[in-house]
C-alpha cells in the first residue's frame, strides 16, 4: 500500500465494508455498536477518513457513510489477509477453527504483500476461508456469492451451510459440536413464526436441532433445489 494507514483505520474500513453488505449507507450508530466505541469517536474518525486525500469514505451528515473505491480496496486487502492467515494457521500450523480469528485480527495488519502471496501459494490460491467466507482475489475482487441467511429459510426447503460468523470462539465450538459447519446439508422441518425458531435436520442424522435467531442470523446458506 502506498501510504501509511493505522491498524485502527484498517479496522474501521473492514467493519464498514462488512456492514455495507446490509445497507447502502452505514450509520455512525451501527459502526459504534459494531466496534464497541463511542459514537463521538466514530464521528471524529469518519470525518477524518472523509477528508483524507484521496478520501476513504463519503460521509453525509444524518445519512451515514459509504466507502470510496480507495476505501474498498484497503478493506478488501485486509479481509484477504485475514482469511488467508486463518486458513494458513489451520492448515499449516494446526490451529482449530475457533482459535484463528484473534491471531488473524492482529497479523492481518502487519504482513507484507510478499508474505501474503507466499501464504496464498502454499494454500493453492483458495477461494474460500476456514469459516466459509469468500477470499478476495489478489487483484482485490470479492468473488460473487449467492447466499442468504439461515434465518430466511422455511419448512421443506433444503440448503447447505456456506459460511458462519467467526468472531466468537464459543459460538464456533457450539456450531462444530452441532455439525453446523460449511458444507453441511440440511432440511428445514419447522418454523415457529412468533419466536422465529427453526427446526432442522442435518442430512445423514436422525435428530433435529432447534435454532433461534442468535444462531440463524450468524449463518449463511445456499438454498438447494433438491434434497441431495
Ligand atoms: Zn476471522
CA of residue 105 to ligand 1 center, whole Å = 7
Is residue 92 assigned to a domain?
no
Alpha carbon of 190 to ligand 1 centroid (Å): 31
Q: What per-residue confidence (pLDDT) applies to 228? A: 59
For the record, the C-alpha cell of 62 comes out as: 444524518
Residue 131 forms part of a structural domain: no
CATH of the domain at 62: 1.10.10.10
Determine the Cα–Cα distance for residues 3 and 190; give it in Å rounded to an integer.
53
Question: Which pLDDT value is given to residue 129?
Answer: 97
Range of the domain at 208: 148-224
How far from 112 is each of 44, 119, 125, 135, 166, CA to CA, in Å? 29, 11, 17, 17, 24
Domains contained in the chain, number: 2
Choosing from 67, 83, 117, the residue where a domain stops is: 67
Determine the pLDDT at residue 3. Answer: 58
Q: Distance, CA 86 to ligand 1 centroid (Å)?
A: 7
Q: Output the CA 72–ligand 1 centroid distance in Å.
A: 18
Q: CB within 8 A of 158, min separation 6: which ones?
A: 185, 186, 187, 188, 223, 224, 225, 226, 227, 228
For residue 180, tell me if it sits in a domain: yes
Asked if residues 58 and 68 have their Cβ atoms less than 8 Å apart, the reply is yes
User: Does some domain include residue 16?
Assistant: yes
Q: Which H or E element spans position 223?
A: strand 219-224
For residue 24, the CA-to-ligand 1 centroid distance in Å is: 24
User: 136 in a domain, yes or no?
Assistant: no
For every one of its 228 residues, what pLDDT tens digit does the chain have, with 9 covering 90 and above?
445 689 999 999 999 999 998 889 999 999 999 999 999 999 999 999 999 999 999 999 889 999 999 999 999 999 999 999 999 999 999 999 999 999 999 999 999 999 999 999 999 999 999 999 999 999 999 988 889 999 999 999 999 999 999 999 999 999 999 999 999 999 999 999 999 999 999 999 989 999 999 999 999 999 998 765
The confidence score (pLDDT) of residue 163 equals 97
* Packed helices 113-122 and 69-91: angle between N→C axes, nearest 10 degrees: 50
The CATH number of residue 154's host domain is: 2.30.30.90
**Predicted local confidence at residue 68, as pLDDT:** 97
Domain assignment present for 34: yes
> 57 by DSSP, 3-state: which?
strand
Amino acid at each position: 500500500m502506498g501510504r501509511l494507514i493505522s491498524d485502527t483505520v484498517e479496522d474501521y474500513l473492514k467493519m464498514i465494508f462488512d456492514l455495507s453488505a446490509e445497507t447502502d449507507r452505514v450509520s455512525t450508530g451501527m459502526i459504534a455498536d459494531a466496534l464497541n466505541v463511542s459514537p463521538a469517536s466514530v464521528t471524529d474518525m469518519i470525518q477524518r477518513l472523509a477528508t483524507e486525500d484521496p478520501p476513504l469514505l463519503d460521509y453525509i451528515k444524518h445519512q451515514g457513510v459509504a466507502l470510496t473505491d480507495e476505501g474498498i480496496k484497503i478493506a478488501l486487502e485486509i479481509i484477504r489477509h485475514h482469511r488467508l492467515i486463518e486458513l494458513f494457521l489451520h492448515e499449516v500450523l494446526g490451529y482449530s477453527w475457533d482459535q484463528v480469528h484473534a491471531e488473524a485480527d492482529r497479523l492481518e495488519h502487519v504482513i507484507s504483500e510478499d508474505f501474503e502471496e507466499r501464504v496464498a501459494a502454499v494454500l493453492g490460491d483458495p477461494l474460500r476461508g476456514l469459516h466459509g467466507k469468500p477470499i478476495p482475489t489478489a487483484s482485490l475482487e470479492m468473488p460473487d456469492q449467492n447466499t442468504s441467511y439461515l434465518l430466511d429459510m422455511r419448512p421443506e426447503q433444503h440448503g447447505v451451510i456456506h459460511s458462519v460468523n467467526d468472531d466468537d470462539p464459543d459460538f464456533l465450538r457450539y456450531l462444530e459440536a452441532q455439525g453446523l459447519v460449511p458444507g453441511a446439508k440440511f432440511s428445514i422441518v419447522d418454523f415457529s413464526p412468533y419466536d422465529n425458531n427453526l427446526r432442522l435436520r442435518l442430512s445423514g442424522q436422525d435428530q433435529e436441532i432447534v435454532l433461534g435467531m442468535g444462531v440463524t442470523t450468524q449463518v449463511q446458506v445456499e438454498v438447494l433445489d433438491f434434497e441431495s
